[in-house]
Amino acid sequence: MTDELYMQRCLELASLGMGNVSPNPMVGCVIVSEGKIIGEGYHEKIGEAHAEVNAVKAVFDKYGAESAALLLKNATAYVSLEPCAHFGKTPPCADLLIRHQLKRVVIGNRDPFEAVDGKGIEKLKNAGIEVSSGILEKESSWLNRRFFTRILQKRPYIILKWARTANGFFAPVGDEQRWISRPLAKRLVHKWRTEEDAVLVGKRTALVDNPQLNAREWPGRNPIRLLIDRNLEIPSEHYLYNNEAKTIIFNEIKTDVVDNIHFVQMEDMQYYLPQKIAFQLYLMDIQSVIIDGGAQLLNQFITAGLWDEARVFTSAVSWADGMLSPQINGMITEVQQIGKDQLSIYQNKR
């Protein structure tokens, strides 16, 4: 139970990196000596120090060089993901733990990334460090589900999101703009945008709603905005063309970069569009995406089975008519009340 308690703290720390470390995984590290936590750290930002580096630094900052060196030689490091064994933007964390002669390392998940994938564990063991792995493995996997999806399935983690009325309508029949969910749900959606790499809409949604697709109602960074506009019909005066965030427009006309607007030409977008989009995003190191409509686009991803999670708001309001909401066959894992709206979270059964 002691190992699990310290690993739970690692996961709490790791989650603080949400939205700031992609396409890296979220990682937390806790260093314990004689039953006392002497240092903690997490991966705070892409390109910057990893969790183990920050935790070791915390020990030195607190105890000074001489005492820290002695404490680390008798310490156990808890890390939510296998320490890296390769030179990337930073040196290998496995080497750092070996250099400070830690007695034991406890790991949540083995890292499936090809340059690591057991090599960090092997390095530690070869250096005479005791290694335990698979502690809170399920919880660690869930925290880094975006990272694992990108590495193992060669695509981003795909979240579908929409709102429906109490009687199952998704949008008006015409081009009228009508809100279904309430302001509290909108704030939650903006929070989600700070946590994921990108948000995707289709042409009709962009034309009718003129969405900003930013996180203006929640502190944090804006996601990359993605638009499907085969014939480049969205006027440049629309919000998606402003300079608030990087915008990628998938189209059949051109490939070009104009300031923050990236045009990406694709062929035959009427065929296998979800698969093509998913692969393009993988190549761009986009690790997670929210599909935010419209109904046709959502249904394409549902039909292709190309989704991991669906977040569906159901309003207390009913309409006399409208466009029917997408239907999804998934496992409901969570239901909660968000003000006057009900939020249901589905996971793909596969």
Q: Is there a binding annotation on residue 115?
A: no
Q: Is there a binding annotation on residue 205?
A: yes
Q: Is there a binding annotation on residue 93?
A: yes
Q: Does the active-site annotation cover 52?
A: yes
Q: Is there a binding annotation on residue 179?
A: yes
Distance CA 264, CA 211 (A): 20
**Pairing assessment for the beta strands 28-33 and 76-81 based on DSSP bridges:** antiparallel
The amino acid that residue 82 corresponds to is E
Question: Looking at 52, 195, 196, 309, which residue is catalytic?
Answer: 52
Q: Is there a binding annotation on residue 310?
A: no
> What is the H or E stretch that residue 108 is in?
strand 104-109
Q: Is there a binding annotation on residue 76?
A: no
Q: Is there a binding annotation on residue 155?
A: no
Q: Is there a binding annotation on residue 216?
A: yes
Q: Is there a binding annotation on residue 10?
A: no
Q: Which residues are catalytic?
A: 52
Binding residues for NADP(+): 163, 179, 205, 209
Binding residues: 50, 84, 93, 163, 179, 193, 205, 209, 213, 216
Binding residues for substrate: 193, 213, 216
Binding residues for Zn(2+): 50, 84, 93
